[in-house]
Amino acid sequence: MESTELKQYLEIAPEVEEALRSNRPVVALESTIISHGMPYPQNVETAMKVEETIRNCGATPATIAVIKGKMKAGCSADEIEYLGKKGVEVTKCSRRDMPVILARGMDGATTVTTTMLIAHLAGIRVFATGGIGGVHRGAEKTMDISADLEELASTPVMVVCAGAKSILDLGLTLEYLETKGVPVLGYGTKELPAFYTRKSGFEVDYRVDTPEELAKIYLMQRRLQMPNGILVTNPIPEEYSMDKTVIDKAIEEALAEAKNRGIHGKETTPFLLAKIKDITGGDSLDSNIQLVLNNARLASETAKELCRLEQGS
């Protein structure tokens, strides 16, 4: 898409545009967690708290969404409130939905996939989220594989998350990322964190211990002109980590109910997460909020290091 055409559909918030122009750190945030991840008003409160956390770390937040057919790289407080109040009325927008959503002038809550896409179009290089999608259990029969993995294979954005959601087949998700050439880095760990818990039994490609090293790896990848993203898996803080046995049991119950009710496709993950929240008495939602804040802090520090390294080169 030519830049003149792109300007019709991409709106970069003035604060974000100024930060990018001045080589100051910017961190992208998704909007599905607002419209589809939590009830109102907790969704809006959490979104604003994540933005505040990024500002307190010295970076600029850019909550990404599609509003009335415009790709927003940075949402105002009023726009976040709008997305939160509309909730699930806002279309959960993956890559395949983008042409329709934009052409019809609709609203879209961006997933990992579309947040990466819009962030890259805007020039934002670091994105903090909760957990990525991946290869679903039973995918050898259903072919249910998240578009997040394909986006990581083709869009050069660093994604900081708490691992792949533990409702997935984590082993196959890692195999898929390896096939696509996506490096999976563990922040302070060699074990893949599993969203609500710090343990999964699976190893990541490399352990990285500082934001500076994360930034150096990203810059080296860009020098090599590799087209893919980088996945940084950041374990949930120990004090908020859930017991693996408890969460595994809740996941098994949720998966069984989803199968019995014939739930599939893009409705699967929201259903499973809501069911797990009910089973765990809300503990999983509290953990979800804390891991997002933790990822926002690491993403901010990494974005700051990117800017520092570039200024010193």
pLDDT, tens digit (0-9, with 9 covering 90-100), for 22-51: 999 999 999 999 999 888 999 999 999 999
pLDDT digits (tens, 9 = 90+) for 171-211: 999 999 999 999 999 999 999 999 888 989 999 999 999 99
Q: End of a domain among 97, 124, 151?
A: 124
Q: Which of 17, 79, 92, 165 is catalytic?
A: 165
Which is it for strands 70-73 and 60-67: parallel, antiparallel or unpaired? antiparallel
Q: Among 160, 164, 154, which Cα is nearest to 194's? A: 164
- Out of 17, 30, 51, 81, the active site residue is 30
Same domain, 91 and 133: no
53 and 155, same domain (yes or no): no
Q: Which residues contact residue 138 at a Cβ distance below 8 angstroms, ignoring those fewer than 6 apart? A: 144, 169
Contacts (Cβ under 8 Å, ≥6 apart) of 208: 185, 186, 187, 188, 214, 217, 232
Domain limit, last residue, from 124, 151, 180: 124
Q: In the predicted model, what is the mean pLDDT of residues 49-68? A: 98
Same domain, 96 and 141: no
Give tens-digit pLDDT for 63-118: 999 999 999 999 999 999 999 999 999 999 999 999 999 999 999 999 999 999 99
Q: Which domain covers residue 266, as residue numbers?
A: 125-313
173 shares its domain with 292: yes
CATH for 58? 3.40.1790.10
Looking at the fold, whether 222 and 117 belong to one and the same domain comes out as: no
The predicted pLDDT at position 276 comes to 72
Residues 27, 60 contacting (CB under 8 angstroms): yes
Same domain, 298 and 256: yes
Same domain (yes/no): 109, 147? no
| Active-site residue flag, 30 | yes
Residues 232 and 214 sit within 8 Å (Cβ to Cβ): yes
How far apart CA 278 and CA 27 sit, in angstroms, is: 31
Cβ distance 203 to 215 under 8 Å?
A: no
User: Mean pLDDT in the chain?
Assistant: 92
Number of domain units in the chain: 2
